Structures are given as structure tokens and as C-alpha cells.
Amino acid sequence: MSLSKYNQKRDFEQTKEPKGKIEKSEKDLLFVVQKHAASHLHYDFRLELNGVLLSWAVPKGPSMNPEIKRLAMMVEDHPYSYKDFEGTIPAGNYGAGNVIVWDNGTYTPAEDTASPQKTLTENLKKGRLSFILKGKKLKGEFSLVKLKGKQENAWLLIKKNDKYASESDILLKNKSVISKKTLEDLEKKAEKKTSTAAPKKKKTIKKAVAKSEAAVFIKPMLASITEKPFDDEDWVFENKYDGYRTIAVLNPGEVKLWSRNQLSFTANFEPLIPELEKINHTAVLDGEVVVENSKGKASFQLLQNYLKTGKGNLKYYVFDILNLDGNSTVKLTLLERKELLKMLLDKHKLSNVFYSEHTVGDGIKEFEKAIKNQSEGIIAKKADSNYLIGKRSNDWLKIKIVQQEEAIIIGLTEPKKSRQHFGALLLGQYNGKKLQFIGKCGSGFSDATLKELYETLQPYFTSEAAVTEKLALRDSIQWVEPKLVCQVKFTEWTDDLHLRHPVYLGLRTDKKASEVLLSSKNKTTAPNTVIMDKSNETPETKKDYDLKIGKITLHLTNQNKIYFPDDGITKGDIVQYYNEVADLILPYLKNRPQSMNRFPNGINASGFYQKDVDVDKIPSWLKTEKVYSESNDKHLDYLICNNKETLLYMANLGCIDINPWNSTIKKPENPDWLVIDIDPAKDKFEDVIKTALTVKEVMDELESDCYCKTSGATGLHVYMPLGAKYNYDQVKMLAELLAIEIQQRLPAITSLERTIKKRNHKIYVDYLQNRRGQTLAAPYAVRPVKGACVSTPLEWHEVNAKLHPSQFTIKNVLQRFEKKGDLWRPVLGKGINIKKILALLENRKKD
């Protein structure tokens, strides 16, 4: 328990908040809840323990409804004397805004104990606190449960179902229990005082007295791409700078600049060093280095020229701070970090280092402004997001205006007429693991650039092409190993996914070739890395064609056959979908026996399951495995789908959905996941959602992760990773115990009855899927239902009243998958601890 962070964040000459010192109650432990209108309205939930107030920020405030679980972010400990603090924290200070004491009282551990503080301290370390509040508003038993596998400081605040539980909104009681004032009353008072008071001294950052640890490079957080601007009060919007992402590491007497991949920029951007040395703090800053023209417009080409000549107006726009005086700031919200950063930069008069300004909520207006200023675009950032080190996140979004791309140089064409060295660059981008040709670039070169670039590329000349497709070019080609990345601007993407009118801007020494991926909007229509041979196509035969994948040629038949009559979706559409989604789905099929669910005549005709394949009649390149089938009481030749060609072979057989085993042929008796299959009763999908959230609640209480996806048909699937550490008997036993717990919590809407008639229209919580040989639709698989719905992995916040499986179809999911990435990846992770869970369940029985 320490108050050092609390003290470091505050200037007590500016704020009336109490200074931090250890104190405690004489008798009963106290709690306090403060309503705090800072950058965002939230409630600060504080529990006295060991002389300080443990503190959690609860964005949506506490609830008396056991069905509602509130996210609570643990923050720094606060001093005991903070229990009575009400008033205004002045602008420019940490946590600036108005505060009232919304509720207070005493509390005790939920369990009987001779030593409450010792018990609470032990439970805090375990990540689960249960306690009884005796407040003026909050009463009865609550729990704080730490979320495993999430942010370090993320917890859930949960009301227990007791006599005080209520569905009424306790937050409507909005007055202070001390002053009887509302936040609005304080705000009016503060405005009145500000209008008549003399200007106050500006807040400053005090450097920590203790010597801080040396600052080190931190791999930056990356943004995802979205196409349209939007307005949202929970987001801030910044200019997108056309330069080099740069991390500045500031230590006493030494400043170092690094690229996003930790290449040194210190020498390249040496004029920035003296300015950054003026910042008399240890710090790690994140920003963008640009070169601006006389009108103040940044240009990547000008930056390239600067690197060669040293001439140009070099500037560093800083938009984030990751460490200050040895204190990591990545767990602070974005607005808190930016507030701290602005205070730091305002403290010093710097000529070429600038704070990157932002606006709140007005994304469309900011985008229009960027268009007017001929900027590259804007960046949207979630205001309450933490800094995710080295990760690409949907909390940050790039919205581009100028058409620019990073491209890998894969070859050169011969020079023509008076041009020297080479004619054009051949460019590529990765589509999954395959390199795809995206066009050639012959503009943007000076004579000096042609010579310099040719000499740079010479060591990488090779006789082997980097792409497998045959290029329709008449030029003589010098192939180049795909190592170097360049930046180009262009007018548009053509229908065959080539850049139209690309212009060379310069090399990207800060980017690795492996990071240069085909744009998401093109992946939804791109033919991946396969070549479709339609040279002999006629109106009569175009329903059949050959598709080449590497060395394998597939003969695809009846591609015009309608599989989904109400939607006009053909067999060819299904084959193409699996072609596009192969990289996502294959990890969940690899080495798993396939039960093929075939619909050769479409979804309105009878389908059938096929487990056993005739090895004498299938292509020799297909992989099969003899596996004993309990239901057939014999060994069957199961098809094993480990690559795209097998996946598309199955789709061509009429396999609309893909159904793998829960275990692999390497460990056939040990499933990789446990699944709770939630089958709906009639059309009551709201009950399905409620059941899935109850599964999540149970697993949170058992300190274990779980993941949800739509079945693609009418239900939801909740998976728990196992890491193939347990056998089917152990897993089925746990699944049954979980199902019983879920059913007991929701007796009115759920049932464990297998027989439909006995369920009485209730939801079936199916745990029997956890048996050897059982299968469920794989994530990303199409389902044979109207609309061609797809079994789609979800984020838990999406499991709400707006959700329905019909939202996700082959017509829209590819853009979602590109944006969110593989949400299902953790299911193949380390796995939950069954023994620990069983012990927790056993202890619960004893209680």
C-alpha cells in the first residue's frame, strides 16, 4: 500500500485534495463512492484497507441489480482523508473536474473472520473481494472480481442477489451524502467563482524527488484502418501526419530517437535532440517526425529529401507519453496521458517539438478540415483507452484521405529510351502469407534517385520471382528479393487490384516487408494468390474452371448452381468465400478429423454427413487419417484439412459448413477446447444472450477466460481453451458442472433436458458436445441457413440486446474480419486450469 503515485500526480499548491499520508479508522473499515466529472463522468469506488483507500474508477457507476456487472478499473491508492473530499479540481491538474461524495458508510468482509484486514488483503492478492456495504445508498453484499487475461487493472463490480438487490437505478439518487449538492450545483459554483477570481498560477509538473529508473524504448501501439469518419463523444480526433513514427527516449544527458521497429533515428533527426534535452525529465514520448513546406504542410517526399540533403523544416509532433520519471503511464486513459503530456511540453519553450492537438467527438468536422488542408487524413482514438504496447488495436483508427500505400519492391523492368538504370519498380503486398503483385511504378524518380535506388537494390537481385502468379508484362524483368519497402501515392485501385498511376515517394526504412499487407477493402474481392484459368471459357462451360494453388490444380464444377435460393448465392460464392477466409479458418481445422456436412443440391435439398472417404477415389495429394469411430464401431478414413486446397476441395463437394473435431489426430483423446452450446427455445434470442452472459459471469468468478461466437444458425457457442491438457472424461465432467451452475442461475429460461418435449420451450444448455468425435461448426464457417450466415467470433461487449446471428453473412463479414483480426486465437492458447476450477466449485459448495 503506497501513496507515492498519488502524491506524484498532484500539485498541492493548485488543488485542495489532501496530501497523501497513512491513516486509518479507529473501529470499522469505511468505504466511500465519489461522483467525479473529470474528462468523463465516472464514480470512484474506494475501500479503506491498511491505512489507505483502495480505489477503482467505475465508468457507469455501481448498480444494485445482480444481473448488471460494472467494469471497475483499479487506480492508485488514495489517502484515508480523501474520504471527505468534495469540490473542484482546477483545470490543468490531474483529474480536473468536480467531485461529490455520492455515498459513504462502513463495510465488512462477506465471510466471518477474526481478522478482517488480513482476510481482505489476502483476497485482494487473489483477485476477488467479497464484502458487505452498509452505506446510505449502497447496501448488501458486493464482489470485486479481477478479470484475468485482460488489462492488469480491470475488475468487475457485481451486486449479489440478496434482500437489498433491486432493478431500480440507484444512480438517480444523485446528491452528495455530505453537502446534499449535485455535481451540477458544484459546477455552477465553480463557474461563478472562476468568473470573479484573479488568474491562478499555472499548474506545473514536479519531477519525482527520488532518482527514477532509466527510460527505455517501448514498442508503439498501432492503429487499425477504417474508411469513413464518424462523430462520437467517446472518441478524440487528431491529425494524421505524413512522416515517420518516432519514439523519443529521454534520459539525463542522453536523448535517443527510434523508429517503430527500433531502428535508430537519432542521427537522422539530430536537430531535434537539443530541443528534447531541454525537457528536464526522464520520459518516453510517442509522435511523428515530419518535414513541412513553407505553408506548413507535411510531405513524405520532403522528409525523404531531408534525409539526403539535411535541408528542410524538421518538426516532431508528440501525441502520447508512455513513461514519466520512471512511472509507466500506459495504464492511464488516453485523455489522462495527453493531459500529462501537454503539461510537460507547456513547461518548456521548444522550437521544433509540438503537442499534437485533438478535438473531442467531431470526427466528421475534423475530416473535412483535413481535406481542406490537404492533409493525409485523421486518427480516431478512444478517449478512455489504455496504451497497448506493440499491438494494433481498434481503439485507434486511421482514416485516410490521400491514396497512399506502402509496397514491397519485388522487381525492376529494363530502362527505355534515355532513362538510365531501370524503367519501373514492380510492387507487391502480402495477402495472408502469399505475396501478390499490385502493379508497376515508373513515376516520381529523378536521375539521382534512379541511380541511388538501383545501387541500393543491386545486392538483392535474384533470378527467382517473388510471386507465384504469371505476370502479364512484356518487359524484361530483374527480380529483387522482397526485402525493401517504399511509399507510393496513386489515384485508385483497379478492378484487378493494381495501383493506378502510382508515383514513387521514397523508401520506408522503418517498415519491414512482412508488415506490408494488402488493403482490407481489396481483400474482400481479391482472388488471393490463386490463378483462375478461364482461357477456354464459353457461355456453356463457365460454370466449371480450373483453379491453381501452388502446385495443385483444382477442377471446380457447377459454380453457377444456386445453393441459397432466397439469396441467389451460388456454389461459386461459397468456394470464393472459403478462398478468402482460408488463413483465418485453417488454424482451427489443422490435424482435425472432418465430418463433412454436404449439400450438393443446395440448402433446400437433403444434405448428409460424410466421415469416411474412399482413399482410392480421391486425389492423392489429400491427407487422410484412420481414426476409430465409436458411433460406427470401426476405423474410418477421415479427411484432414491442413491447407487451402483441401478446404476448397471440400467446398466444391458441397460442404457449406465445416465441422472439425474438438481434438487433433496428434492428441485424439485430449480436446483443445471445452464448449457450451446454447440452443435457443423458439425465437427467444434475448434468452440466448442472457445465458451466454451467465456463462461469462460464472467463468469470471472462476477466474478463467471464455470466448463467444455465433453458431451461425440460431444459437451461441461459448468456448474455454484447454491446451489439450485434459482427456474427454475430465472435460465432460467439468462441462456438466458448469451447465448445472448456469441452469441453477437461470431456472426460468434454461434446461438440461436433452429431449425437446421435456424442455418446455426452454434453452438447452448443451454440455454433451464435449465428447470424442462430436463436432460443431468451426469459427468463420458458413452455415446452411437462409442468408448464408457465418459462425462469427465476438467481443464480449457485442453480446447484447442488439446481437443476432443473422447479422453476419458472407456478404459482410470479410471486412469485419479484416478490421478485428482473429478474435478466436486465444481459444488455441495455454488453456484454463481445470483442477483450480474444480477446487473453486468445491469450496463454493462448502460455503
- H runs (alpha helix) in 59-126: 116-126
For the record, the C-alpha cell of 120 comes out as 481482505
Classify the phi-psi angles of 119: left when phi > 0, otherwise alpha if psi is within -120 to 50, otherwise beta: alpha
Which residue bears the cell 466528421?
Answer: 364
Which residue bears the cell 462430436?
Answer: 774
3-state SS assignment for residue 624: strand
3-state SS assignment for residue 317: strand
Closest CA to 788 of 765, 822, 811, 766: 811
Rounded to whole angstroms, the maximal C-alpha distance in the chain is: 93
Closest CA to 585 of 679, 516, 657, 692: 657
For the record, the C-alpha cell of 181 comes out as 449538492
| 801: amino acid identity, one letter | A
Closest CA to 487 of 467, 465, 510, 466: 510
Cβ(662)–Cβ(669) below 8 Å: no
Which residue bears the cell 506524484?
Answer: 8
Q: Quote the CA–CA distance of 314 and 351 in Å, as a whole number.
A: 10
Cβ(259)–Cβ(429) below 8 Å: no
Classify the phi-psi angles of 397: left when phi > 0, otherwise alpha if psi is within -120 to 50, otherwise beta: beta
Residue 39: half-sphere exposure toward Cβ, Cα within 13 Å: 25
Q: For residue 674, give the DSSP letter.
A: E
Contacts of residue 838, defined as CB under 8 A and 6 or more positions apart, other chains included, come to 734, 737
Q: Which are the catalytic amino acids? A: 240
Q: For 814, phi and psi rounded to 5 degrees?
A: -65, -40
Contacts of residue 633, defined as CB under 8 A and 6 or more positions apart, other chains included, come to none
